[in-house]
Every structure is written in structure tokens, then in C-alpha cells.
């Protein structure tokens, strides 16, 4: 649990970095962390942010719709 929280802190920093090239990957990994912490609605939100950055990112799209179908 502590490692997830630590990773979340670093990924949030990466999401704010100007020179980071793969923001969609940062948001996807944050979504995975939120799912592991049993925060599915927050996970879905950041999967959506990953899709804004890269609409063709299949892993984020699948995760977003999986959570949307489960919690609607």
C-alpha cells in the first residue's frame, strides 16, 4: 500500500513536468494505482485524461470503458 502511495506522488510530479513526453502513460499508470487503492471512479477519471492525451491508447480506452460499464 505504501509503495502505491509513493508511486502516485512521483507520477503526479511527472504529470506536471513540461519536458515529459508520454503524459498518456503517466495518467494510465495513475489509473492503475487508483484501481489498486480501490478508487475506481478516480481511476476512470485519469484513464480519461490519458485518452485526452492520446485517443488511440488502447489500454487506457479499455480500462476506461471497463470501469464505466462496471460503475454505471
pLDDT value at 37 more than 70: yes
Structural domains of the chain, ranges and CATH numbers in brackets: 2-71 (1.25.40)
Query: Residue 40: which residues within 8 A CB-CB, separation 6 or more?
Result: 34, 67, 70, 71
CB 34 within 8 A of CB 54: no
Residues 30, 15: Cα–Cα separation, whole Å? 10
Confidence band, pLDDT 50/70/90 cuts, at residue 46:
very high
Residue found by looking up cell 510530479 in the block? 13
For 14-33, the pLDDT digits (tens) are 667 666 667 788 889 889 98
Amino acid at each position: 500500500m505504501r509503495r502505491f502511495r509513493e508511486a502516485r506522488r512521483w507520477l503526479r510530479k511527472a504529470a506536471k513536468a513540461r519536458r515529459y513526453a508520454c503524459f498518456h502513460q503517466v495518467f494510465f499508470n495513475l489509473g492503475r494505482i487508483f484501481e489498486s487503492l480501490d478508487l475506481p471512479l478516480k481511476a476512470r477519471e485519469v484513464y480519461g485524461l490519458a485518452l485526452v492525451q492520446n485517443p488511440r491508447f488502447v489500454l487506457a480506452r479499455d480500462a476506461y470503458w471497463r470501469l464505466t460499464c462496471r460503475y454505471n
